[in-house]
Structure 1
Amino acid sequence: MEFRDLCTLETFRDVCRPRGYSENLEDVIKKEFTRIKGVTYLDHAGATLYPESAVREFCLDISRNVYGNPHSHNPSSRLTHDTVDRVRYRILQHFNTTPEEYSIIFTSGSTAALKLVSETFPWSAPTATEPGSLFCYLTDNHTSVVGIRGPASAQGALPFPVSPREVEGRTRDGVVGVVGHDDHGSCQTPHLFCYPAQSNFSGRKYPLGHVRGIRARRLYPACDHRGRWFVLLDAASHVGCSPLDLQCCPADFVPLSFYKMFGFPTGLGALLVRNQAAACLKKSYFGGGTAAGYLAGEDYFVPAANISDRFEDGSISYLDIIALNHSFDALQRITGGMDNIQPHAFGLARYTYILLSSLCHGNGHPVAEMYTHGQFDSPSTQGAILNFNLLDCRGHIIGYSQVDKLASLYNIHLRTGCFCNTGACQHFLDITDQELKNNLKAGHVCGDSVDLVDGKPTGSVRISFGYMSTFDDCQNFLSFVVDCFVDKPAQVDRVRLENLRQTQTALCGNSNQKLSIKPLANGGIEREVETCRQAEPSLVGCGRPSSAVDTTLLKNPYTLTNIYIYPIKSCAAFEVCDWPLGASGLLYDRSWMVVNSHGVCLSQKREPRLCQILPRVHLSLGQLSLHAPGMDNLLVPLESTATLKTSQRVCQSKVCGDRVETVDSGDEAAMWLSDFLGQPCRLIRQSPDSVRGGKKRLNTDATTAVLSFVNKAQYLLINKASVDLIQEQIRSRQEFSEDRQPLDTQNLISRFRANLVVAGVEPFEEDTWSQLIIGDAQFLVGDRCERCQMICVDQDTGTKTKAPLLALSSCRSGKLTFGVYLSRQVQEDSPSARILSVGSAVLHRTADPSL
């Protein structure tokens, strides 16, 4: 059989039955990877390629936004801090875990992450009563993992190399007293076991079940050694083309480099630390940002409580971290996720493996010596990496340096050498320790071009595939091998080829692995123009205090003059005459929010034009309408997100430090908002499965309050008498300033963005209240609301004036608080207590009855 007859797309599909996204990949390459035209790039295990859209979007991002040092507290710094936090959540989501289980420590790469573990792990030397720590590692590990033995040995730990065969061949089931990570008997000696999820040399994937097996002391060498075993899973090679589910393999330490996944940014990695194991890590050095406090003149230091803060010395590479958002977006947009990438890359690698390993010279001798474990039959046991040496027609190995030079002539980019994995190199090439030492004495070092010593190879050739690799890449490489290294005519070992073709494949990957990012829905939303009533529920009377309420300390009736809801956080107010009360406040108050392209909440501090977006809730129609100058009206359904959740993206967002699960409201709403605001953004709403509590935010031990996307509490109340005092102060200050534009009462009230406005008697009397009854509904008064530059935004125009904040500071003697937070007591069941109405009597109880 002629070899060229097999180099067809039909053969590829027949042999490998590839799955994934290859149908439109040519169009993607032309659009996203124009720079590789004429290049066959086969070094994705070294660094994959970045799509051009990710770089463009990143450049637009940093050109559009001001990102400051996250250690500061100014607006640009807060934007950086919030965006970096969003990236942390996104990384954890990608690996199917949560901040409750893992923390992320950003590093300069996976090597720096490994070095961090080596320097902070609590190695112990042997004593008369306790054994010393073991640093155990597979011999098929990257140099950076093996390098841990230096710091470990220096502190008395014993290096303990084991072969993969020893770990898998020696198991111990049913060990008495050994059932989990925390059950290790009286011996507390910490040991560390390190192994790669995927060999960077051969692409072999090691069982992820080793994580639990080692910690439970069922696998060798843990089964033979007492103590507490921790597991470091080197994921740097694995995550480039394969999903990793940390729910299934909860390793204690997971180092990785992001350029292996995205190609951009470089110089950025991370150490994922299992929170249960984090307490064991100890640092001696501390740098900027890692200290909660210290003394310069005394040996006194308290580390930061947060794990990430504690180990990220100095300012993190925040612009590179922000770039990850765009890399995640591009990866998802192009491929749909790692569950698609894995079968695509594996299919290409398998096809190349089958043909290359079946290829023969004209005399029938094989062309390649393959270095694999098994027959390349499943993506669960083999990654998209091929390692081999080429052979001449006499069976002699052709030096990898010669292969590398000729490949460059064909514009084929591959890698040669030992790939920073001496253990695997020795194993596959049968290089003894003494031979390695002799080669070193003779002048051969890692990375040079000395490929043969006495006819024996010192290294090999590695090609590896990525998500943008194509069938043409396979053809170009195989054609290069035939053209340059095969004695013609090129033949195929039919028996071997047929055996490989009949091997069972599992190209769909692991069904237990979950997508970290779900696709967006494409369904549209009908647009209508509608004039809305202010309130749709029937009016309720002013109401009286319930007879069951103790009114002995309730004083001075006030009146509820205004009710505002803010359906979309930071957008315009929706004023109503009466409105239902929900579990988290006024029904639909702050149920939605606008987020930027990174998933970070947009507020008027960052985007003042939000105030010109006017949402209206139509309860009878089950719709939310959006209005804005120059835009057609948009309708968004009020339906339960349980329905939306099946078709739209579920993601995690952050509101005032709290993590919440959200549901995306669809592409039409995103396009509408993006067009008006002039930047990519989306509309999201709180998931019904997400419960955000606010008990700790209130000065009370009462029932926990459930929160929507509000800042700190269910309700915010202001006193009109206090507003009048601020207005007087503004007028007084304007007489001596250039800003002489008067602010009317309504304009000022709108700037404070309260839910409830009461007509009171004395300014700031509300600061002393502890309980309120409005109509028949009971409320507890919590903290005062701390104000920021948000009150400087004119809610009609979006322009900013300094006067309100300066006046507030003057009135409050430097304090910037205005209004009080409320939470609702929900014990009452009367229907009238479930609706608030303008004109209702407001009774209050003060914290001090003598007031």
Structure 2
Amino acid sequence: MENDPTDSTSSYKQSPDLLSFQHFQTLCPARGYGYGGKIQEIRAREFSRLGELIYLDHVGTTLFPQSQLERFMDDLTENIYGNPHSQNIRSRLTQDTIEHVRYRILQHFNTSADDYSVIFTSGSTAALKMVGETFPWIPESSEGPGSYFCYLTDNHTSVVGIRAITASKNVLSISVTPEEIPPLERNCTTIKEHHCNIPHLFCFPAQSNFSGTKYPLSWIQKVQSGTLCVKSTPGKWFVLLDAASYVSTSPLDLALHPADFVCLSFYKIFGFPTGLGALLVSNKIAPFLKKTYFGGGTAATYLTGEDFYIPRKSVSTRFEDGTCSFLDIIALKHGFDIMEKLTGGMENIKEHTFALAYYTYTVLAGLKHPNGSPVAQIYNDTEFKSSDMQGPIINLNVLDEQGHVIGFSQVDKLASLYHIQFRTGCFCNNGACQKHLGASAEDMKKFFQAGHVCGDDVDLIDGRPTGSIRISFGYMSTFEDSQAFLKFIVDCFLKKTVQPDKDVASQPSQGKAVSESARLLAGNDQANKANADTNKLLQEAITSKNGLSKTLSMMQEAHNMHLPKLETNGHDVPTSVKTSNEKPVTLITIYLYPIKSCSAFEVSEWPLGKQGLLYDRNWMIVNQNGVCLSQKQEPRLCLIRPFLDLKQNNMVITAEGMDPIKISLNDESGKQNRACQSKVCGDRVQTYDCGQRIADWLSLFLGRQCQLIRQTPDLSRNANKKAQSGVNPALLSLVNEAQYLLINTASILHLREQTTSSEEDELEETLHINALIERFRANLVITGSKPFEEEEWDEVSIGDLNFKVVKKCTRCQMICINQKTGERNKQLLQILSACKGGKKTFGIYLMNHPLCSSFPAVLSVGTQVFPLWKESAENPNEAAPEE
């Protein structure tokens, strides 16, 4: 639900101090934030590696402090830990340390080994699975009722997955919404058959990982005692508490709330180690758990020749198959020690993180567009009044001025420009996602049929959101983190009041819309003249070989404020004024990128290969783990400039301050080098290492260990068959999506014109036509007649070569990197988003038409381009009908 903000937070414009620390202190008492003034010192000493990053995904995983890692490494340096299943001195040290950590965990949750056993698992999911597999289920039969498994709909996927286990055991599963729980308590009638021993299991999250709602821990004893009847049936109810999200920032007292099972993941509490969790099992039910498989270390004795097996008496060792992750378990000790030292305990963490969440929620809920509509839709079940009812999680979607949801993927891309990291999607919690987004079961199925799956970036389908944005705070989060997020929302999404143009200042009720309409209606002749002048300049430039830079500078002058600004028609394609004297479309530039994510290599003509332009993206730079580097992680890649010399059969690589280095283009040269596998956009590619000499060169320039690898010549990727009409799929090099990327200079000019006069000074260099073309990293640059007309093409012929249009190119933050300097500038992605009505598509992907292409073939600058329009699109070369 949404809460109406108070008057004091109704408008960011009216109250510019809302983002100040003084306002934060007014809303949140100082005693609840900062650990007595130590938070800045903690951030500076323990988390300096964050740098400019605003990390807001602590529910995903929190961050480990530097001293925890140092203490752990010192421990490993000073001690030798043997396998705990051995009996030597070093192994005994390991066993004793592990047992100490078990006691420390139980102490943290205010209980002891008298009441609970700690079973180490790989995480909370493995703990939940263990409960499902070992719980003493009784199947339903003709002789009587069986067990029930009941779970809250606001549960993680890993909880819902238990129903697959119960189904195989003929045990019924029931889902209950949070709203149904209180009526169950009010309408509960005491069941007389208390002697019945049928065991049932109820699971709920202590804290929703979707909205941060904290569910009453009093439910535990009410379910166990029968005063809260989940299902009116004879038997005994047990409670499985999913505490993974809750215990990351809140204390859990098992003496007050003795759940039968508690699952957790330690990386959510400490950040390190990962891949380690635990199941806390009440010793009262532990003897009744039914375990079938037994692995190393779990058996007291067994025989191989007959079915004879005696488990160990200890609950922990009976259920921990194989050698436990003993070094990671030892790391937990240092996690508890350091966190206690830094913060003073979980109660302080709880109040600190809640203060940040409450402030962020209050300001965010009060942000309004000039027309009074909210900037964000917040998905919450509480009013953020109490840390006992609400965790430090805020779930939302951003809205435009008309109240339409802006896709979470679009918001995420913009956030990356502000160095903000959060999580998007449904967060493995489809139940809460359905509830808050108002999506029915049929809607969810339709989303899937439309191509959406969990974890992808398909954020809107038919205008409806498929997920949302989740920000979450951790114990090391600061006011500045919250402030940065709120400033990002204000800067990017709070609609600013538009001042009317001077020529309509006397008609303020009409505003800028009247001015733009007048300019559009009056602009027919000017537009036609500008198009004619542009094509004339291009033909002269191509003939006289003036070059792209001079040509486009002349184009910009010819178009400067002559073409009317174009509005979009809701389909990302401008509804421009149609003319009947359109000039031919021409290919004016060819770029290839021999090394993926490095500088472009411009040519006037170039041969085509089976994968696209010959040698385009045949090489890529990977880090020490073999992961491909891109400009998103390493902007300085654009400063590495490869030059191909087909006559000399080599590639020369240059960079400022470095001696040039040469690599042979001969495919045979890589046969003696180490073969390796890598991934590009999820596809596995076969590559080989280009050698230590170039690796050292790149490592020196980039200041990090890396190497150059090349795609194996005889093993290529097949393009997605769904994107092609041909029987034989096209082949891909190390490109992301398709063989070619095409952009239109008319679209570039239109994008350039979208800045206001105040923005032009600041962005003059950024949005210069040449710089814009470079940032969009196309292979083919054409001179179209109208902006974005290429998005309605189905096929393209360039000379005698035919290409199939695959789809539009969705842009990311890479277009914000100056390809000459490597510096970031966030405005361009924002301008593109505003220009395209929230979308960030620019340019189109092409594939060689499998039936029409012939090899060898050559593309040349100056060649005429002939598009074939989609059947549903109007050909702009046809005269527009009268209105």
TM-score normalised by length of structure 2: 0.54
Q: Is 1:339 matched up with 2:351? A: no
1:76 aligns with 2:119: no
Match of 1:434, SS? helix
* Equivalent of 1:52 in 39, 45, 66: 66
Which piece of structure 1 moves more, 413-422 or 19-28? 19-28
What SS is found at the alignment partner of 2:170?
coil
Say if 1:174 and 1:439 are closer, same or farther in 2 by CA, change over 3 A. Answer: closer
Distance 1:172 1:464 in 2: 34
Say which SS state the counterpart of residue 276 (structure 1) adopts: coil
Q: Could you say what secondary structure the match of 1:279 adopts?
A: helix
> Of the candidates 176, 195, 204, which is equivalent to residue 213 of structure 2?
204
CA deviation vs aligned residue, 1:641-673 (integer Å, no higher than 9, x gap) = xxxxxxxxxxxxxxxxxxxxxxxxxxxxxxxxx
Partner secondary structure for residue 406 of structure 2? coil
Is the Cα–Cα contact under 8 Å of residues 288 and 313 in structure 1 kept in the other structure?
yes
Asked if the contact 2:210–2:432 (Cα under 8 Å) also holds between the matched residues in 1, the reply is: yes
Please tell me whether the aligned partners of residues 166 and 220 of structure 1 are also in contact (alpha carbons under 8 angstroms): no
Q: In the alignment, what sits opposite 2:104?
A: 90
Contact residue 22 and residue 344 of structure 1 kept, 8 A: no
Relative to 1, partners in 2 of residues 1:176 and 1:433: Cα closer, same or farther, differing over 3 Å? closer
Q: Residues of 2 paired with 1:50 and 1:176: CA distance?
A: 48
**Cα distance, 1:147 vs. partner?**
0.3
Q: Which residue is 2:202 aligned to?
A: 193
Distance 1:35 1:6 in 2: 29
What letter corresponds to residue 100 of structure 1 in structure 2? D
Moved more, 13-22 or 114-123: 13-22
Amino acid at match of 1:11: H
Give the match for residue 166 of structure 1: 180
Tell me, yes or no, if structure 1 residue 5 matches structure 2 residue 5: no
C-alpha distance in structure 1 between counterparts of 2:183 and 2:493, whole Å: 39
Mapped partners of 1:210, 1:174: distance in 2: 13
Q: CA deviation at 1:128?
A: 3.0
For 2:322 and 2:101, how far apart are their aligned partners in 1? 19
1:468 aligns with 2:476: yes
Q: Which residue of 1 aligns with 2:364?
A: 356
Say whether 1:486 aligns with 2:500: no
Aligned-residue Cα RMSD (Å) equals: 1.4
Aligned equivalent of 1:683: none
For residues 333-359 of structure 1, the C-alpha deviation after alignment (integer angstroms, 9 at most, x for no partner) is: 100000100000000000000000110
Is 1:316 matched with 2:324?
yes
**1:355 and 1:31 mapped to 2: Cα distance?**
30
Other-structure match for 1:692? none
Deviates more, 1:202-211 or 1:277-286: 277-286
The letter for the 1-side match of 2:441 is: D
Shift of 1:104: 0.3
Shift, 1:374, TM fit:
2.1
Residues 748-759 of structure 1: pairs in structure 2 closer than 5 A: none
Q: TM (normalized to structure 1)?
A: 0.56
* 1:175 shift after superposition: 5.2
Q: Superposition pairs for residues 481-520 of structure 1, below 5 Å?
A: 481-488=489-496
- Deviations along 1:264-312, one digit per CA (max 9) or x if unpaired, are 1100000000110112211110000111111101011111110001000
- How many residues align? The count is 484
SS in 1 for 2:427: coil
Q: CA deviation at 1:489?
A: 5.3
Is the CA contact (8 Å cut-off) linking 2:297 and 2:320 kept in structure 1?
yes
Taking the TM superposition and a 5 Å limit, the aligned residue runs for 1:452-851 are: 452-488=460-496
CA distance in 1, matches of 2:412, 2:188: 51
Residues 418-476 of structure 1 show CA distances to partners (whole Å, capped at 9, x for unaligned) of 00000000000011001111111221100111101111100000000011000000110
Match of 1:395 among 394, 398, 403: 403
Identify unmatched segments of 5+ residues in structure 2. 1-10, 499-883
Q: Distance in 2 between matches of 1:275 and 1:77?
A: 27
State the distance in 1 between where 2:417 and 2:356 align: 23
Measure, in 2, the Cα distance between the counterparts of 1:362 and 1:380: 35
Separation (CA, whole Å) in 1 of partners of 2:255 and 2:496: 52
Deviation at 1:330, TM superposition (A): 0.8
Structure 2 residue 428 is matched with structure 1 residue 437:
no
Larger mean Cα displacement after TM superposition, 163-172 or 387-396: 163-172
Q: What is the rounded CA distance, in whole Å, between the counterparts of 2:315 and 2:233 in structure 1?
A: 29
Query: Partners in 1 of 2:325 and 2:259 — Cα distance?
Result: 25
Code of the residue aligned with 1:108 in structure 2: it is: S
Partner of 1:260: 268
Q: Is the 8 A contact 2:117 2:282 kept in 1?
A: yes
Distance 1:177 1:480 in 2: 56
Structure 1 ranges of 4+ moved more than 3 A:
172-178
CA, structure 1 residues 402+277, in 2 after alignment: closer, same or farther (shift >3 Å)?
same
Selected match of 1:404 from 412, 415, 421: 412
Alignment of 1:125-164 (within 5 A): 125-164=139-178
The answer to whether the aligner puts 1:301 opposite 2:309 as a matched pair is yes
AA of the residue aligned to 1:111: T
2:225 to 216, 220, 244: 216
Corresponding residue of 2:455 = 447
Give 1:15-30 correspondences, 5 Å limit: 15-18=27-30, 19-20=32-33, 21=35, 23-30=37-44
Contact 2:191 2:234 in 1 (8 A): no
The letter for the 2-side match of 1:5 is D
Q: CA deviation at 1:217?
A: 1.4
Indicate conservation of the 8 Å contact 2:188/2:229, yes or no: no
**TM superposition shift of 1:186:** 2.9
Contact 1:118/1:148, CA 8 A, preserved across alignment: yes
The residue matched to 1:194 in structure 2 has which SS?
strand
- Alignment partner of 2:127 out of 110, 113, 120: 113
Q: 2:263 is matched by which residue type in structure 1?
A: P
Q: 2-side partners of 1:489 and 1:285: how far apart? A: 67
Structure 1 position 275 matched with structure 2 position 289: no
Q: CA deviation at 1:3?
A: 4.3
| C-alpha contact (below 8 Å) 2:264/2:278 kept by paired residues | yes
Question: Whole-Å Cα distance in 2 between the matches of residues 419 and 220 of structure 1?
Answer: 29
Indicate the larger mover: 11-20 or 463-472. Answer: 11-20
Aligned equivalents of 2:255, 2:67: Cα separation in 1: 32
Tell me if structure 2 keeps the 8 A contact 1:130–1:189: no
The alignment partner of 1:72 has SS state of: coil
SS in 2 for 1:43: coil
The answer to whether structure 1 residue 427 and structure 2 residue 473 are counterparts is no
The code of the aligned residue for 1:237 comes to S
Q: Deviations over 1:106-132 (max 9, x none)?
A: 000000000111111122211234311
Select 2:298's aligned residue among 290, 310, 316.
290
- How many Å separate the matches in 2 of 1:285 and 1:170? 38
